[in-house]
Amino acid sequence: DTEVTQTPKHLVMGMTNKKSLKCEQHMGHRAMYWYKQKAKKPPELMFVYSYEKLSINESVPSRFSPECPNSSLLNLHLHALQPEDSALYLCASSSSGTSNDNEQFFGPGTRLTVL
């Protein structure tokens, strides 16, 4: 199975809501990532988990809270978001979080709209 799955595909939420994005991979990868992508822009790294520990936080606002319950799952908890947080949120995984030449496998993304 060489697939990264993400749920939901689409999410509309108000600024006072709490929601979660989910990501799953069964490739035995030990690094997982969250990216944010605005229209016509490249993906921007948000968080990296390596061996289930948070290794990189790219100064992301605290209204985004990542969680890695186990090596196959990655969540992104959302709370009190702003309309400018509307974007495509991509999850990715790679085989190692310590080697620096791994390809990353991306999920299809969750299209988030904040009203």
Which residues would be at the binding site for another protein (CB under 8 A)?
4, 31, 33, 41-45, 48, 50, 55-56, 88, 90, 92, 94, 96-109, 111
Rounded to the nearest 5 degrees, what angle is found at the Cα of 80, between the Cα atoms of 84 and 82? 10
Q: How far is the C-alpha of 66 from the C-alpha of 57, rounded, in Å?
A: 9
Q: How far is the C-alpha of 28 from the C-alpha of 26, rounded, in Å?
A: 6
For another protein, which is the closer residue by CB, 16 or 59? 59
111: nearest Cα among 25, 15, 37? 37
Least separation in angstroms between CB 98 and another protein:
5
Report yes or no: 102 and 50 within 8 Å, Cβ to Cβ.
no
Least separation in angstroms between CB 35 and another protein:
9
For another protein, which is the closer residue by CB, 82 or 99? 99
Least separation in angstroms between CB 103 and another protein:
4
For another protein, which is the closer residue by CB, 21 or 31? 31
